[in-house]
Every structure is written in C-alpha cells, then in structure tokens.
Amino acid sequence: MENPRYVELQDQVVVITGGGGILCSAIATAFADQGAKLAILDLKKESAEVVAEQIRQKGGEAIAVQADVLSQESLQMAYEKVTEHFGPCNILVNGAGGNHPSGTTSNPYLLEEDLTSTVEDLKTFFDLDIEAIQFVFNLNFIGTLLPTQIFSKAMVGGKGCNVLNISSMNAFTPLTKIPAYSGAKAAVSNFTQWLAVHFSKVGIRVNALAPGFFLTDQNRALLTKEDGELTPRGATIIDQTPMGRFGDPEDLVGTALWLCSNQSKFVTGVVVPIDGGFSAFSGV
C-alpha cells in the first residue's frame, strides 16, 4: 500500500469492469493502494491479468476475470468467481464503455452539398449504422445496468457499499460527430441519479465520474498524430480546455476514492466532471 489514506477501504472487495483499460487500471491500482481487494473484469482476460499482476507485484490482492458486460450469463459466472475468491462485492466500478466509428459522422455540421457528395466514406447523420448505434448505447448504458444488477444485490443492507459509474462530460453538452456515445453517456448520468434514489434506503450510494478528454487507446489516433502533434480536433479540445492539457489517468483517482469512502457518506446521485474546466468554459 503506497497511499493508505482511506483506511475504511482496506479489505473492501472492489469489482471494476473494463479494468484492463488505461483509465480503469489507474482507478483499480489506487483502490489497491488503499488495501482493497480488486477483481479486474474485462472482455479481454489478458488485459485484466496485466493489471492484476501489476497490483500483486506491489503487494496487493487482485484477480483477473473475463466478463462480457452485455451478457448476464458471463457476468453471473464472473460474480461467482469473485465471490468464491474474495466474498461479496462492496464497491462496483462500472468502467466498461466505448464508441464505434460507424456511429460517428465524418463532419461536425451537415451541409446541403453533403447529400450529393461523391467523397468516399463520407458519413452524414443519414448514413449512421443503426447496429453501431445500438452497440454503443448498449455497451455504455446496458453495460452499466447489467453488472449493477448482478453485483449490487449482495450489497443490500451492507455498510460502505458503493456503485461508481463512468459517465462523460459530453453527457452535459454533447460533442459533435458522436451522437450515440453522447446519448449513451447522458443515459448513464440519468441512471446514476435514478439508482441513487432507488438504493437510498438500503445502504448503497451511487455516483459517477464524468471524465473530460483523456488520451486512451480508443481516441489517441483521433486526437494526436503519429509524431505526437495534435490533430485539428485535438487542438480544438485543448483550446476549449481552460487548463490547457489532456487529463492524466491519475487525475481520476482522488475523486473516485473520495466518492467510495466514508468521507463522502452523505453524497449520492452526483456526477462529477473531471475535465480541466471544459464543461465550464463558454468558448469566450
């Protein structure tokens, strides 16, 4: 344990979906540093195992579990593995999510000439693939709801139990070009508030992080060039971020730990932007 600040998190069983990713692995490591027991769930078990092994090498407790957040059967199997190894889940972090290129428009604005354009691969709103839209919505929203159904039932009546969802700053104001992802994250924020009220009598708090722009494997090619320079979209983002940089994965850690600790025991139903001021800036 490198930073045992939240002593009440020690020995808590933390399940984190999408735990093999850049952002969620940082959150998982932070919980492990507090002495929590981590179950790293990911569709790719090898990615989860990398994170779990890093935690174990530092003296923490962690297991890697393959899980598909869109499959009740897969999640039930994961639940049984986690419970057998660690016992019931105390904290669930719903970190799985993502976008799909076929649910994304080529340009931020529709122009009349786009409808007759012969530009190859130009994708307007009218060309968006409905299956891609459904995939993005399901991955982000249903992929938050299903794990919560499976893992939070054992939390009912417990102490210090939390569900932490991962929304996005574009749930507040949608970004151009990504209607499916923006809508899905807005649904996650709404679900966070709904579930916080629904669980308020049984000892489970529900909150969410709303990250701004963090470089991940999913968006790196969209925001930066091979030489590390910003793409036009990346430059626009930095210009609209008052703090003038992308977020670091560790920037999520403090808020995540605080929301799941006793220091926020009267906080539920909040969605916290962690975006360097992006959502607060009018552009002027």
* Residue the block writes with tokens 């969605």: 271
Continuous segment of H or E residues that includes residue 15: strand 13-17
Point out the residues that are catalytic.
181
Say if CB 127 and CB 181 are below 8 A apart.
Answer: no
Say if CB 168 and CB 211 are below 8 A apart.
Answer: yes
Give buried/exposed letters for 44-73 (b at 16+ CB in 10 A, else e): ebebbbbbbebbeeeebbbbbbbbbbbeee
Query: What whole-number distance in Å separates Cα of residue 122 and Cα of residue 256?
Result: 39
What are residue 91's DSSP bridge partners?
A: 14, 162
Helices 179-198, 130-137: axis angle to 10 degrees equals 30
